[in-house]
Structure 1
Amino acid sequence: MALRGTNQETGRPYNRRIVLEAIRLRGPVTRGDIARSVGLTVQTVSTIVRELEDEGLVLSVQKAPEGRGIPPSTLTINPEGGHALGIHVTPLGIEAALVNLRGDVVENVRHDVVNVPPDEAFAIIGEMALQLKASPRCGRLLGAGLAMPGPFDVESMSFVGSTTMAGWKDVDIRQNLADATGLPAFIENDMAAAALGEQLYGLGQQVSNYYYLFFSVGLGGAMMHDGAVVGGAWGNAGEIGHIPAVPDGEPCPCGNRGCLERYLSLDAFERRGLPAEEWVAEVAPFFRSAVRIIENLFDPETIVLGGLAPHAFLDQLATLSESLDNSVSARANRALPRVVMASDCHHSALRGAAALAVFGVLSPRHGQMFEPIEKGTA
């Protein structure tokens, strides 16, 4: 998806985001290169860049002359030009982090609490926000993003069972987040947030189409296509955890039987009670089947494996892909293996949650997707 600016007078805010996105994706980059790539005049780009430099979002670097003439200056995103709060709520606890524009986790705090109810959760989030705001490393805050288990807005599946946040039905999550943090609020399911974080800060800067397999208390995933999450009609596309894996298998809280996450998830691991290596060997057929399903449905360049499980645990799962059966992805000219590890497994959804707020300011595509709520507004 090409970034293109608009010459309409009303398009100025959009053009700012276009220019910022171009700098983030292509920096260090010259003003002329930006103008050519997004379809704006050099004068328009230069005017926007001056504003962004004044606001501290962009850095301009003048190269030393290598021959005759002065080379044009190049532009990069200033990593300390802004920060966002990333918050991840799971059935195991709450983690929050201060994340800069480069995606570095500057500081983070965690509160271990099992199946926390909403009122208690937002009280904890408010305390975490105050702690992170007080950090001497905290600069201008763009907003707060929250990631939590999905799917969303599905009567029989949302906030039901041990792999979701049971008891959170009918809670105005974004408004509560805005009230707790005093910041523009963004929310997304954790599998999509993790995919976004990987796109912004990890492998997604080199790969256009990949599926992020999010191994957590439950099992989910999201397909990234050309820099954007494939959300589906209601934002829940990629919910592989509820694909039937075993006919007449274990009952699932969603109402079906034999769902994949009943066998392949941290919840399944805890319920089975086996040593990790023994359990991985037992679920190998389910993992390989999940990989083939994803490949045949989405035809990704690769499958990125991440989530809440320890890195060594995920690494054992990733090795199962060395003996995968045939699919549309079994081709000799692959640039990447069929399954790779995420760039930052532990912080994937946390960084992705912060990316929601960053995208809301910097990205012309994602900024229109998440509908931020300002504190005190409906």
Structure 2
Amino acid sequence: MLASIKNNQLLRSAFTVSKGDKLLPDNPRAIVREVFWNMNTTQSKIAEQTQIPQQTVSRLVKGLIEQGVLRVNEEKGESSTATKSSKGKSASGIAPNPKFAYSFGLSVLLDAISVAVLDFTGEVVDTLILELGDMGIESVLRKAVAMANELIDTHAIPTDRILGIGVGISGFFSSTDGKMNTHHAIEEWADINIAETVAEAFQLPTWVVNDGTGAAAGEGIAGVGRQYKNFVYLFVSSAFGGGLVNNGEMIRGTHGNAGELGDMLPAKLYSHPNLQLLQRILSKHGVDVPSIYKLNEIFDPNWPGVDEWIYKVQDSFDLVATASSALLDSQAIIIGGHIPTQLAEKVIPRIDVYAQFRRGAKRPLPEIVCAKVTRSPVAVGAATLPLREWFL
């Protein structure tokens, strides 16, 4: 059984708990947040960005380094680890200490679960995925705890360094009480307090998001989303959904359902761009795809039926991309989920984002790019939740 952070004296002793919802007071928290998003930064840049006085920054950074939260990168000859100070001298870069803490993520999909672990820089340490015939609560949690313990043993992760666990699950929040109206394939998870149920099994602080929001959160930290402050994430999996990130933060909405992009597409008018439809079309053409979770490894863009799927879902991609661009003025639209990268690369050039043409120009349009996190994207995203909640 995993160690609970409630009993985690090592982490608790490293911080002054503030307001009951943080591991750090405001100023150290702001410094850790700045260093996390801007790896190998300097004290002068931290002071500039946080508006904390330079002397205070110097004192707090020194303390955070002594506690092992941050570290100084001083590798020779690597431009990524050192910057030039205003006086032209080489300045060592300050970065998070990857071994300071770890966070876990669990995805509960329609017919599979995955567990991911991230280090304190937001890098993916490892993931495990398991397809299941029984998606009931007892079955899922028993397997998930075993998978988490396997990752702990494999990577020698100290249990007193685990911040918590996030859960990404297929469904939508039915109210503000944290209960979800889940897909029929995971009926047993409907209308229960998922966070409390998972927390009891893992003995860890637990947070819950829907699968699309979770995948977007993961792409924002461990994927190409690091390059963009504002993006819309198209979650292409067994179903179609999405997630929204603004200024690096997840947009959850009133109930936690922001980013339900599939609801933009009335089923009688539009074919939803999901992988179940792709499987049916491929099967019609004699191509057997046993699992969407292995599709990225075996996908051939020349399979008969691939172009038919793209033709059927093209209008759906156009509508969602246009609406997202017009409503949110995002920097990027990221196509991810369990869609094979090669398929996303075929789709992207065909997406038409409508915009008025005036005085010889359109308004700025978002870049449309492929996701980088292609293995267990929901679990990876769920694993970012403890990092986001405690530190970011």
**TM-score normalized by structure 1?**
0.79
Matches within 5 A, 1:162-201: 162=185, 165-201=186-222
In structure 2, the residue matched to 1:288 is: 318
Instruction: Give, in whole Å, the separation in 1 of the partners of 2:155 and 2:374.
Output: 27
In structure 1, the residue matched to 2:262 is: 241
Question: 2:143 is matched by which residue type in structure 1?
Answer: I
Structure 1, gaps ≥5 residues long: 1-8, 250-257, 364-378
1:318 aligns with 2:339: no
CA deviation profile, 1:244-277 (whole Å, cap 9, x unmatched): 435xx2xxxxxxxx5x5x6321233345544333
Displacement of 1:355 after TM fit? 0.8
Corresponding residue SS for 2:172: coil
Structure 1 window deviating more from structure 2 (349-358 vs 201-210): it is 201-210
1:159 aligns with 2:178: no
Structure 2, gaps ≥5 residues long: 1-17, 77-81, 285-304
Instruction: Give, in whole Å, the separation in 2 of the partners of 1:215 and 1:329.
Output: 30
Instruction: Give, in whole Å, the separation in 2 of the partners of 1:341 and 1:63.
Output: 32
8 Å contact kept, 1:31–1:46: yes
In structure 2, the residue matched to 1:43 is: 55
Displacement of 1:137 after TM fit? 4.0
CA deviation profile, 1:152-202 (whole Å, cap 9, x unmatched): 12699821445xx33311222112222222222122112112222222233
Corresponding residue SS for 1:134: helix
In structure 2, the residue matched to 1:304 is: 334
Displacement of 1:115 after TM fit? 6.0
Instruction: Give, in whole Å, the separation in 2 of the partners of 1:121 and 1:351.
Output: 17
Displacement of 1:43 after TM fit? 3.2
In structure 2, the residue matched to 1:223 is: 244
Q: Which residue among 20, 34, 37 is the counterpart of 2:46?
A: 34
Displacement of 1:94 after TM fit? 0.5
8 Å contact kept, 2:104–2:164: yes
8 Å contact kept, 2:124–2:222: no
Displacement of 1:329 after TM fit? 10
Displacement of 1:40 after TM fit? 1.7
Instruction: Give, in whole Å, the separation in 1 of the partners of 2:374 and 2:318.
Output: 20
Shift in alpha-carbon separation, 1:151–1:329, aligned structure 2, 3 A: farther
Instruction: Give, in whole Å, the separation in 1 of the partners of 2:276 and 2:357.
Output: 29
In structure 1, the residue matched to 2:289 is: none
Matches within 5 A, 1:33-182: 33-62=45-74, 72-114=91-133, 116-139=135-158, 140-153=161-174, 158-162=181-185, 165-182=186-203
Shift in alpha-carbon separation, 1:317–1:154, aligned structure 2, 3 A: farther
8 Å contact kept, 1:217–1:267: yes
In structure 2, the residue matched to 1:266 is: 275
Instruction: Give, in whole Å, the separation in 2 of the partners of 1:115 and 1:243.
Output: 31
In structure 2, the residue matched to 1:367 is: none
**TM-score normalized by structure 2?**
0.76
Question: 2:139 is matched by which residue type in structure 1?
Answer: E
1:354 aligns with 2:387: no
Shift in alpha-carbon separation, 1:49–1:287, aligned structure 2, 3 A: same
Question: 2:40 is matched by which residue type in structure 1?
Answer: P
Q: How many residues align?
A: 338
CA deviation profile, 1:302-356 (whole Å, cap 9, x unmatched): 21100022323333332322xx15236996685863x211122334322211111
Give the superposed CA RMSD.
Answer: 3.2
Instruction: Give, in whole Å, the separation in 2 of the partners of 1:294 and 1:325.
Output: 9
8 Å contact kept, 2:332–2:369: yes
Instruction: Give, in whole Å, the separation in 2 of the partners of 1:292 and 1:32.
Output: 41
Displacement of 1:86 after TM fit? 1.8
1:344 aligns with 2:370: no
CA deviation profile, 1:113-152 (whole Å, cap 9, x unmatched): 1460122111111111221222234242222111112311
